[in-house]
């Protein structure tokens, strides 16, 4: 299993600014995932964060907008850059400690851009 501490839990930000979301895992994991979940919608994968290499982004998401750091096997950050109201959403980090097993999620960051 894995316990993930994600912060901040929520924030209200001005457009044009950036917000960095942090996820700390209580055990070492190979891959961490960052998702976006708009209200009432499903989870959309933003990117996969690998330790020691650049993150792998899904179609529609780019590094300049969502830079990711993965300095070690227990920690990752996602930055939402140059925010606009369209970035208002819930952002979730997730880990799957072993391939093809359950995923564990952080508590989520509810972001509102005004």
Partner 1 sequence: GQQVMQIPQYQHVQEGEDFTTYCNSSTTLSNIQWYKQRPGGHPVFLIQLVKSGEVKKQKRLTFQFGEAKKNSSLHITATQTTDVGTYFCAGAGGSNYKLTFGKGTLLTVNP
**Contact region with partner 1 (CB under 8 A), list: 14-22, 65-73, 79-87, 95-103:** 95-103
Taking phi over 0 as left and psi of -120 to 50 as alpha, with beta for the rest, 40 belongs to left
Candidates 17, 41, 82, 112: give the one binding partner 1 (CB under 8 A). 41
Distance, first Cα to last Cα, the chain: 37
Q: Which helix (H) or strand (E) holds 57?
A: strand 56-57
Residue closer to partner 1 by CB (options 68, 106) is 106
The answer to whether 94 touches 64, Cβ cutoff 8 Å, is no
13 binds partner 1 (CB under 8 A): no
Least separation in angstroms between CB 96 and partner 1: 4
108 binds partner 1 (CB under 8 A): yes
Candidates 22, 51, 81, 96: give the one binding partner 1 (CB under 8 A). 96
Strands 75-80 and 109-113, how do they pair? unpaired
């Amino acid at each position: 299993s894995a316990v993930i501490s994600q912060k901040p839990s929520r924030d209200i930000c001005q457009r044009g600014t950036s917000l960095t979301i942090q996820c700390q895992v209580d055990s070492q994991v190979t891959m961490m995932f960052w998702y976006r979940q708009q209200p009432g919608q499903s989870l959309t994968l933003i990117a996969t964060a690998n330790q020691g290499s650049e993150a792998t982004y899904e179609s529609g998401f780019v590094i300049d907008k969502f830079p990711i750091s993965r300095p070690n096997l227990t920690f990752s950050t996602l930055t939402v850059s140059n925010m606009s109201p369209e970035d208002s959403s819930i952002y979730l980090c997730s880990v799957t400690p072993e391939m093809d097993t359950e995923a564990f999620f952080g508590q989520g960051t509810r972001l509102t851009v005004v």
